[in-house]
Amino acid sequence: MRLIVVSNRLHVTVEEKEGKINYKQSSGGLATGLSSYLDSIKDRDFEISEYLWIGWPGSAISAGKRSEVGAELESKYNCRPVFLSEKVMDKFYLGFCNKTIWPLFHYFPMLTSYSAEHWKQYISVNETFCEAVLEAVRPGDVVWVHDYQLMLLPAMLRKKMPGLAIGYFHHIPFPAFEVFRLLPREWRNSILEGLLGSDLVGFHTHDYTQYFLRCTLRMIGLEHNLGAVNCASHTAIADTFPIGIDYEKFNGAAQNPEVKKEIREFKKAFGDKKVILSVDRLDYTKGIINRLKGYELFLERHPQWHGRVVLLSLVVPSRTGVDHYMSMKRQIDEMAGKINGKFGSAGWTPLVYQFRSYSFEALAAVYSISDIGLVTPLRDGMNLVAKEFVASKADGRGVLVLSETAGAA
Protein backbone atom coordinates (compact mmCIF):
# COMPACT_ATOMS: atom_id res chain seq x y z
CA MET A 1 0.00 0.00 0.00
CA ARG A 2 1.25 3.48 -0.86
CA LEU A 3 0.75 6.55 1.32
CA ILE A 4 0.27 9.90 -0.40
CA VAL A 5 1.15 12.75 1.96
CA VAL A 6 -0.26 16.14 0.98
CA SER A 7 0.83 19.36 2.69
CA ASN A 8 1.31 23.00 1.77
CA ARG A 9 5.11 22.62 1.93
CA LEU A 10 7.29 19.70 0.94
CA HIS A 11 9.90 18.47 3.40
CA VAL A 12 12.43 19.66 0.83
CA THR A 13 12.79 23.36 -0.04
CA VAL A 14 13.84 24.21 -3.59
CA GLU A 15 15.57 27.50 -4.39
CA GLU A 16 16.39 28.85 -7.83
CA LYS A 17 19.23 31.37 -7.94
CA GLU A 18 20.82 32.62 -11.14
CA GLY A 19 19.60 29.59 -13.04
CA LYS A 20 20.91 27.10 -10.48
CA ILE A 21 18.67 24.86 -8.38
CA ASN A 22 19.44 24.12 -4.72
CA TYR A 23 17.69 21.60 -2.46
CA LYS A 24 17.65 21.70 1.34
CA GLN A 25 15.67 20.25 4.23
CA SER A 26 12.61 22.30 5.21
CA SER A 27 12.32 23.54 8.80
CA GLY A 28 9.20 23.61 10.95
CA GLY A 29 7.26 21.23 13.14
CA LEU A 30 5.17 19.67 10.38
CA ALA A 31 8.13 18.84 8.15
CA THR A 32 10.14 17.56 11.12
CA GLY A 33 7.36 15.41 12.56
CA LEU A 34 6.28 13.92 9.25
CA SER A 35 9.82 13.25 8.07
CA SER A 36 10.51 11.29 11.26
CA TYR A 37 7.36 9.23 10.74
CA LEU A 38 8.06 8.52 7.08
CA ASP A 39 11.63 7.49 7.89
CA SER A 40 10.29 5.06 10.47
CA ILE A 41 8.21 3.29 7.80
CA LYS A 42 11.43 1.86 6.37
CA ASP A 43 12.36 0.24 9.69
CA ARG A 44 9.02 -1.13 10.82
CA ASP A 45 6.61 -3.77 9.63
CA PHE A 46 3.92 -1.41 8.35
CA GLU A 47 1.39 -2.20 5.64
CA ILE A 48 2.63 0.98 3.94
CA SER A 49 5.49 0.01 1.64
CA GLU A 50 6.13 3.36 -0.05
CA TYR A 51 5.09 7.00 0.01
CA LEU A 52 4.78 10.06 -2.20
CA TRP A 53 4.78 13.59 -0.76
CA ILE A 54 2.84 16.26 -2.68
CA GLY A 55 3.30 19.95 -1.88
CA TRP A 56 4.69 23.36 -2.78
CA PRO A 57 8.51 23.35 -3.10
CA GLY A 58 8.96 26.50 -1.01
CA SER A 59 9.56 29.08 -3.72
CA ALA A 60 8.41 30.12 -7.18
CA ILE A 61 10.22 28.08 -9.85
CA SER A 62 10.53 29.40 -13.40
CA ALA A 63 8.60 27.52 -16.08
CA GLY A 64 11.79 26.39 -17.79
CA LYS A 65 13.08 24.67 -14.64
CA ARG A 66 9.90 22.98 -13.46
CA SER A 67 10.39 19.76 -15.41
CA GLU A 68 13.92 19.37 -14.05
CA VAL A 69 12.84 20.13 -10.48
CA GLY A 70 9.88 17.76 -10.68
CA ALA A 71 12.03 14.88 -11.92
CA GLU A 72 14.71 15.48 -9.27
CA LEU A 73 12.21 15.70 -6.41
CA GLU A 74 10.38 12.54 -7.42
CA SER A 75 13.48 10.41 -8.07
CA LYS A 76 15.55 11.46 -5.04
CA TYR A 77 13.04 12.65 -2.45
CA ASN A 78 9.74 10.84 -3.25
CA CYS A 79 8.14 14.25 -3.75
CA ARG A 80 5.85 15.68 -6.40
CA PRO A 81 5.80 19.50 -6.47
CA VAL A 82 2.77 21.73 -6.84
CA PHE A 83 4.12 24.86 -8.51
CA LEU A 84 2.50 28.12 -7.41
CA SER A 85 3.42 31.67 -8.39
CA GLU A 86 4.43 34.37 -5.92
CA LYS A 87 1.20 36.22 -6.69
CA VAL A 88 -0.88 33.17 -5.83
CA MET A 89 1.09 32.50 -2.64
CA ASP A 90 0.70 36.13 -1.59
CA LYS A 91 -3.10 35.83 -1.57
CA PHE A 92 -3.35 32.20 -0.51
CA TYR A 93 -0.55 31.69 2.02
CA LEU A 94 0.40 35.16 3.24
CA GLY A 95 -3.21 36.27 2.78
CA PHE A 96 -5.96 33.86 3.79
CA CYS A 97 -3.85 31.27 5.61
CA ASN A 98 -1.75 33.62 7.70
CA LYS A 99 -3.92 36.71 8.00
CA THR A 100 -7.24 34.95 8.56
CA ILE A 101 -6.97 31.32 9.67
CA TRP A 102 -3.72 31.46 11.65
CA PRO A 103 -4.59 34.38 13.96
CA LEU A 104 -8.21 33.36 14.47
CA PHE A 105 -7.43 29.71 15.23
CA HIS A 106 -4.80 30.90 17.74
CA TYR A 107 -7.34 33.18 19.47
CA PHE A 108 -6.09 36.49 18.09
CA PRO A 109 -9.31 37.86 16.50
CA MET A 110 -7.96 41.41 16.72
CA LEU A 111 -5.26 40.45 14.19
CA THR A 112 -7.63 38.61 11.85
CA SER A 113 -8.42 40.10 8.44
CA TYR A 114 -11.25 39.09 6.11
CA SER A 115 -10.87 39.26 2.33
CA ALA A 116 -13.24 37.71 -0.22
CA GLU A 117 -10.41 37.77 -2.76
CA HIS A 118 -8.14 35.80 -0.44
CA TRP A 119 -10.93 33.29 0.23
CA LYS A 120 -11.39 32.72 -3.52
CA GLN A 121 -7.65 32.13 -3.86
CA TYR A 122 -7.77 29.65 -0.97
CA ILE A 123 -10.45 27.67 -2.81
CA SER A 124 -8.47 27.83 -6.06
CA VAL A 125 -5.25 26.52 -4.49
CA ASN A 126 -7.11 23.67 -2.81
CA GLU A 127 -8.52 22.79 -6.24
CA THR A 128 -4.99 22.85 -7.68
CA PHE A 129 -3.83 20.43 -5.00
CA CYS A 130 -6.86 18.24 -5.71
CA GLU A 131 -5.83 17.97 -9.36
CA ALA A 132 -2.27 17.08 -8.34
CA VAL A 133 -3.48 14.29 -6.06
CA LEU A 134 -5.86 12.89 -8.67
CA GLU A 135 -3.02 12.76 -11.20
CA ALA A 136 -0.83 10.81 -8.76
CA VAL A 137 -3.27 8.48 -7.02
CA ARG A 138 -3.37 4.76 -7.79
CA PRO A 139 -5.88 2.09 -6.72
CA GLY A 140 -5.29 1.16 -3.09
CA ASP A 141 -3.50 4.39 -2.16
CA VAL A 142 -4.21 6.16 1.12
CA VAL A 143 -4.21 9.98 1.02
CA TRP A 144 -3.13 11.88 4.13
CA VAL A 145 -3.83 15.64 4.01
CA HIS A 146 -2.12 17.99 6.44
CA ASP A 147 -3.03 21.24 8.09
CA TYR A 148 -5.05 24.40 7.79
CA GLN A 149 -3.83 25.40 4.33
CA LEU A 150 -5.74 22.46 2.80
CA MET A 151 -8.95 22.18 4.83
CA LEU A 152 -11.16 22.10 1.73
CA LEU A 153 -9.16 19.38 -0.03
CA PRO A 154 -10.68 16.24 1.60
CA ALA A 155 -14.21 17.08 0.40
CA MET A 156 -12.92 17.94 -3.08
CA LEU A 157 -11.19 14.56 -3.30
CA ARG A 158 -14.25 12.77 -1.91
CA LYS A 159 -16.42 14.33 -4.61
CA LYS A 160 -14.07 13.19 -7.39
CA MET A 161 -13.24 9.74 -5.91
CA PRO A 162 -15.92 8.64 -3.40
CA GLY A 163 -14.12 5.42 -2.48
CA LEU A 164 -10.72 6.98 -1.80
CA ALA A 165 -9.26 6.47 1.69
CA ILE A 166 -8.63 9.99 3.04
CA GLY A 167 -7.13 11.13 6.32
CA TYR A 168 -6.58 14.68 7.55
CA PHE A 169 -4.44 15.97 10.42
CA HIS A 170 -4.77 19.44 11.93
CA HIS A 171 -1.44 20.72 13.27
CA ILE A 172 -2.65 23.95 14.88
CA PRO A 173 -5.36 24.56 17.49
CA PHE A 174 -8.96 24.16 16.40
CA PRO A 175 -10.81 27.01 18.12
CA ALA A 176 -13.86 26.89 20.31
CA PHE A 177 -17.27 27.52 18.73
CA GLU A 178 -17.38 31.10 20.03
CA VAL A 179 -14.20 31.91 18.08
CA PHE A 180 -14.74 29.78 14.97
CA ARG A 181 -18.10 31.39 14.31
CA LEU A 182 -16.37 34.74 13.73
CA LEU A 183 -15.71 33.49 10.20
CA PRO A 184 -18.38 34.32 7.59
CA ARG A 185 -21.01 31.56 7.40
CA GLU A 186 -20.04 30.41 3.89
CA TRP A 187 -16.38 30.10 4.85
CA ARG A 188 -16.86 28.26 8.14
CA ASN A 189 -19.42 25.82 6.71
CA SER A 190 -17.16 25.08 3.73
CA ILE A 191 -14.24 24.40 6.08
CA LEU A 192 -16.26 22.02 8.25
CA GLU A 193 -17.66 20.21 5.21
CA GLY A 194 -14.18 20.12 3.72
CA LEU A 195 -12.71 18.39 6.77
CA LEU A 196 -15.63 15.98 6.97
CA GLY A 197 -14.70 14.74 3.50
CA SER A 198 -12.06 12.69 5.34
CA ASP A 199 -12.54 9.22 6.76
CA LEU A 200 -10.46 10.25 9.75
CA VAL A 201 -9.85 13.77 11.09
CA GLY A 202 -7.02 14.01 13.60
CA PHE A 203 -6.19 16.68 16.19
CA HIS A 204 -3.39 17.14 18.72
CA THR A 205 -5.56 17.32 21.83
CA HIS A 206 -8.93 16.16 23.12
CA ASP A 207 -10.08 19.78 23.46
CA TYR A 208 -9.47 20.52 19.76
CA THR A 209 -11.39 17.38 18.80
CA GLN A 210 -14.36 18.35 20.94
CA TYR A 211 -14.37 21.93 19.63
CA PHE A 212 -14.51 20.60 16.06
CA LEU A 213 -17.37 18.22 16.85
CA ARG A 214 -19.30 20.96 18.62
CA CYS A 215 -18.90 23.23 15.59
CA THR A 216 -20.17 20.55 13.22
CA LEU A 217 -23.26 20.18 15.39
CA ARG A 218 -23.95 23.87 15.98
CA MET A 219 -23.16 25.11 12.47
CA ILE A 220 -24.10 22.38 10.00
CA GLY A 221 -26.36 20.26 12.20
CA LEU A 222 -24.39 17.00 12.14
CA GLU A 223 -24.36 15.04 15.39
CA HIS A 224 -21.68 12.56 16.35
CA ASN A 225 -21.57 9.25 18.18
CA LEU A 226 -18.28 8.91 20.06
CA GLY A 227 -16.59 11.06 17.42
CA ALA A 228 -18.21 9.38 14.41
CA VAL A 229 -20.12 11.78 12.15
CA ASN A 230 -22.51 10.28 9.59
CA CYS A 231 -22.12 12.19 6.32
CA ALA A 232 -24.07 11.66 3.09
CA SER A 233 -21.54 9.29 1.49
CA HIS A 234 -19.45 7.99 4.39
CA THR A 235 -18.72 8.19 8.11
CA ALA A 236 -16.05 10.64 9.24
CA ILE A 237 -14.34 9.95 12.56
CA ALA A 238 -12.71 12.74 14.59
CA ASP A 239 -10.11 11.67 17.15
CA THR A 240 -7.00 12.78 19.04
CA PHE A 241 -3.45 11.86 17.97
CA PRO A 242 -0.69 13.90 19.66
CA ILE A 243 2.27 14.18 17.30
CA GLY A 244 5.63 12.98 18.58
CA ILE A 245 9.31 13.29 17.73
CA ASP A 246 12.15 10.92 16.87
CA TYR A 247 13.07 10.26 20.51
CA GLU A 248 16.12 8.11 19.81
CA LYS A 249 17.56 10.74 17.49
CA PHE A 250 17.51 13.45 20.18
CA ASN A 251 18.26 11.20 23.14
CA GLY A 252 21.42 9.85 21.53
CA ALA A 253 22.51 13.09 19.88
CA ALA A 254 25.05 13.97 22.57
CA GLN A 255 27.18 11.02 21.40
CA ASN A 256 27.42 12.45 17.88
CA PRO A 257 30.96 13.83 17.26
CA GLU A 258 29.58 16.97 15.60
CA VAL A 259 27.22 17.57 18.51
CA LYS A 260 30.06 17.03 20.99
CA LYS A 261 32.07 19.69 19.17
CA GLU A 262 29.15 22.14 19.36
CA ILE A 263 28.67 21.34 23.07
CA ARG A 264 32.31 22.20 23.82
CA GLU A 265 31.99 25.52 22.00
CA PHE A 266 28.78 26.49 23.83
CA LYS A 267 30.23 25.50 27.22
CA LYS A 268 33.30 27.60 26.49
CA ALA A 269 31.10 30.58 25.59
CA PHE A 270 28.80 30.36 28.64
CA GLY A 271 31.24 29.05 31.25
CA ASP A 272 29.60 28.24 34.59
CA LYS A 273 26.55 30.44 34.00
CA LYS A 274 23.06 28.97 34.16
CA VAL A 275 21.63 28.81 30.64
CA ILE A 276 17.93 29.41 29.98
CA LEU A 277 16.98 28.34 26.46
CA SER A 278 14.06 29.38 24.26
CA VAL A 279 13.63 28.26 20.64
CA ASP A 280 10.80 29.61 18.50
CA ARG A 281 9.76 30.51 15.02
CA LEU A 282 9.12 34.22 14.61
CA ASP A 283 5.43 34.37 15.50
CA TYR A 284 3.20 36.40 17.82
CA THR A 285 1.62 33.17 19.11
CA LYS A 286 4.95 32.15 20.66
CA GLY A 287 4.97 34.93 23.25
CA ILE A 288 8.58 35.93 22.54
CA ILE A 289 8.17 39.58 23.57
CA ASN A 290 6.24 38.56 26.69
CA ARG A 291 9.07 36.17 27.60
CA LEU A 292 11.71 38.87 27.20
CA LYS A 293 9.69 41.19 29.43
CA GLY A 294 9.48 38.41 32.00
CA TYR A 295 13.25 37.94 31.88
CA GLU A 296 13.75 41.68 32.31
CA LEU A 297 11.50 41.60 35.38
CA PHE A 298 13.44 38.62 36.76
CA LEU A 299 16.73 40.52 36.46
CA GLU A 300 15.19 43.58 38.13
CA ARG A 301 13.84 41.61 41.09
CA HIS A 302 16.78 39.24 41.54
CA PRO A 303 20.05 41.17 41.16
CA GLN A 304 21.89 38.29 42.83
CA TRP A 305 21.65 36.49 39.48
CA HIS A 306 23.45 39.22 37.56
CA GLY A 307 26.51 37.71 35.90
CA ARG A 308 25.34 34.18 36.72
CA VAL A 309 22.62 33.54 34.14
CA VAL A 310 22.14 33.84 30.38
CA LEU A 311 18.96 33.66 28.33
CA LEU A 312 19.75 32.10 24.95
CA SER A 313 16.87 33.14 22.69
CA LEU A 314 16.90 31.48 19.27
CA VAL A 315 14.33 32.87 16.84
CA VAL A 316 13.93 31.17 13.46
CA PRO A 317 12.88 33.48 10.58
CA SER A 318 9.30 32.91 9.44
CA ARG A 319 6.75 34.72 7.26
CA THR A 320 9.02 37.67 6.74
CA GLY A 321 6.72 38.82 3.95
CA VAL A 322 3.96 39.68 6.45
CA ASP A 323 4.16 43.24 7.81
CA HIS A 324 3.05 42.29 11.33
CA TYR A 325 5.86 39.75 11.61
CA MET A 326 8.52 42.25 10.59
CA SER A 327 7.10 44.76 13.05
CA MET A 328 7.37 42.12 15.76
CA LYS A 329 10.95 41.37 14.69
CA ARG A 330 11.83 45.03 15.23
CA GLN A 331 10.19 44.97 18.68
CA ILE A 332 12.22 41.90 19.64
CA ASP A 333 15.43 43.55 18.40
CA GLU A 334 14.69 46.66 20.45
CA MET A 335 13.77 44.63 23.54
CA ALA A 336 16.97 42.59 23.30
CA GLY A 337 19.06 45.75 23.02
CA LYS A 338 17.24 47.30 25.96
CA ILE A 339 17.87 44.30 28.25
CA ASN A 340 21.56 44.04 27.39
CA GLY A 341 22.03 47.80 27.67
CA LYS A 342 20.23 47.98 31.00
CA PHE A 343 21.82 45.00 32.77
CA GLY A 344 24.88 43.95 30.78
CA SER A 345 28.50 44.61 31.64
CA ALA A 346 31.91 44.16 30.04
CA GLY A 347 32.05 40.55 31.17
CA TRP A 348 28.38 39.56 30.96
CA THR A 349 25.74 39.60 28.23
CA PRO A 350 22.46 38.64 29.93
CA LEU A 351 20.60 37.94 26.66
CA VAL A 352 22.10 36.12 23.68
CA TYR A 353 19.58 36.64 20.89
CA GLN A 354 20.04 35.06 17.47
CA PHE A 355 17.71 35.40 14.49
CA ARG A 356 18.55 32.51 12.19
CA SER A 357 17.98 28.82 11.54
CA TYR A 358 19.99 26.23 13.45
CA SER A 359 21.36 22.89 12.25
CA PHE A 360 20.26 19.74 14.06
CA GLU A 361 23.73 19.38 15.58
CA ALA A 362 23.74 22.92 16.98
CA LEU A 363 20.17 22.58 18.26
CA ALA A 364 20.93 19.26 19.96
CA ALA A 365 23.96 20.88 21.58
CA VAL A 366 22.05 23.82 23.07
CA TYR A 367 19.37 21.44 24.32
CA SER A 368 22.10 19.43 26.02
CA ILE A 369 23.93 22.31 27.75
CA SER A 370 20.86 24.30 28.82
CA ASP A 371 19.68 24.20 32.41
CA ILE A 372 16.15 25.43 31.71
CA GLY A 373 13.96 25.03 28.64
CA LEU A 374 11.57 27.99 28.54
CA VAL A 375 8.64 27.05 26.29
CA THR A 376 5.92 29.63 26.90
CA PRO A 377 3.71 30.15 23.83
CA LEU A 378 0.52 32.14 24.21
CA ARG A 379 -1.18 29.43 22.14
CA ASP A 380 0.33 26.46 20.31
CA GLY A 381 -1.07 23.40 18.58
CA MET A 382 1.50 21.06 20.14
CA ASN A 383 5.08 22.45 20.34
CA LEU A 384 7.79 19.92 19.54
CA VAL A 385 10.57 22.00 21.14
CA ALA A 386 9.30 20.94 24.57
CA LYS A 387 9.54 17.26 23.61
CA GLU A 388 12.92 17.67 21.91
CA PHE A 389 14.34 19.41 25.00
CA VAL A 390 13.23 16.63 27.34
CA ALA A 391 14.38 13.87 24.96
CA SER A 392 17.83 15.47 24.70
CA LYS A 393 18.37 15.27 28.46
CA ALA A 394 19.83 11.76 28.55
CA ASP A 395 21.43 12.55 31.93
CA GLY A 396 18.13 13.68 33.43
CA ARG A 397 19.50 17.15 34.21
CA GLY A 398 17.49 20.28 33.50
CA VAL A 399 14.02 21.75 33.95
CA LEU A 400 11.29 22.36 31.39
CA VAL A 401 9.02 25.36 31.97
CA LEU A 402 5.99 24.77 29.73
CA SER A 403 3.00 26.99 29.08
CA GLU A 404 -0.40 25.47 29.87
CA THR A 405 -1.66 26.76 26.51
CA ALA A 406 0.71 24.55 24.50
CA GLY A 407 -0.81 21.34 23.19
CA ALA A 408 2.17 19.44 24.63
CA ALA A 409 1.01 20.40 28.13
**Which residues are known catalytic residues?**
171, 380
In DSSP terms, 316 is beta-bridged to 281
Checking 339-344 for CB contacts under 8 A at 24+ apart, the result is: 339/292, 339/295, 339/296, 339/299, 342/296, 343/296, 343/299, 343/306
Q: Cα 177 vs. chain centroid, distance in angstroms?
A: 23
Extract long-range pairs of 218-225: CB within 8 Å, 24+ residues apart. 218/177, 218/181, 219/177, 219/180, 219/181, 219/185, 219/188, 219/189, 219/192, 220/189, 220/192, 220/193, 222/196
Cα 110 to chain centroid, rounded? 22
Alpha-carbon distance 382 to 205, whole Å?
Answer: 8
